[in-house]
Amino acid sequence: MRLAAVAVALLCACDRDHPVRSCGDDLGGVWRTEAGERWMILDGGDALELYPLFPDVPPSALEVAPRVIDLSRQDGKLAGVVRRRYMHASDACDATAPVHVTSCASGTLELVLADPVPPLGFAPCSWPRPAASRRERWRAE
């Protein structure tokens, strides 16, 4: 009986399923979008970094880097930018678009974000109108 109690205690201690209840919680780990894309969140407290775990380079005549999302946490709220680098020969332009996390509850994040758009020109970088924002729902894996 005592051995069974120890086994149950060890199993409970190893349970990593901790539901997210607020945007102030540790959000680190792998998250999946409704479209099936997987993202890794590195939660450093006041700053979070989000990286795609899937091929994230659209077809282009330019050299294009995967997106990265940088968020800041203030007063339990998360906001920041989506970044993507575009290169043409030795010229580089770093595009950004806003992102806001509107809800963190029940193991789900709701985000409003847009994709960075390619530049119209390099050296200096010139930009078209920003892309339209969309809402996404991510679930913790």
Q: Are 96 and 83 in contact (CB under 8 A)?
A: yes
Number of residues assigned to the chain: 141
100 and 72 in contact (C-beta within 8 Å)? no
Q: Quote the pLDDT of residue 60.
A: 87
Residue 1 pLDDT > 80, yes or no?
A: no
Instruction: Check residue 105 and give its pLDDT.
Output: 95
Burial class (CB in 10 A: 0-12, 13-18, 19+), 62: middle
The pLDDT-based confidence of 8 (bands split at 50, 70, 90) is very low
pLDDT at 59: 87
Where in 2-133 does DSSP place strands (E)? Answer: 29-33, 38-43, 47-52, 63-64, 68-74, 77-88, 91-105, 108-113
pTM recorded for the entire structure: 0.85
CA distances from 24 to 28, 108, 124 (A): 11, 13, 39
Domains and CATH numbers, the chain: 17-140 (2.40.128)
For the chain, percent of residues with pLDDT exceeding 90: 82
pLDDT per residue over 50-90, tens digit each? Answer: 999 999 998 888 999 999 999 999 988 999 999 999 999 99
Q: What is the mean pLDDT of residues 109-132?
A: 97
The pLDDT assigned to 19 comes to: 80
Q: Is the bond into 119 cis (omega within 30 degrees of 0)?
A: no
Q: Identify the pLDDT of residue 18.
A: 58
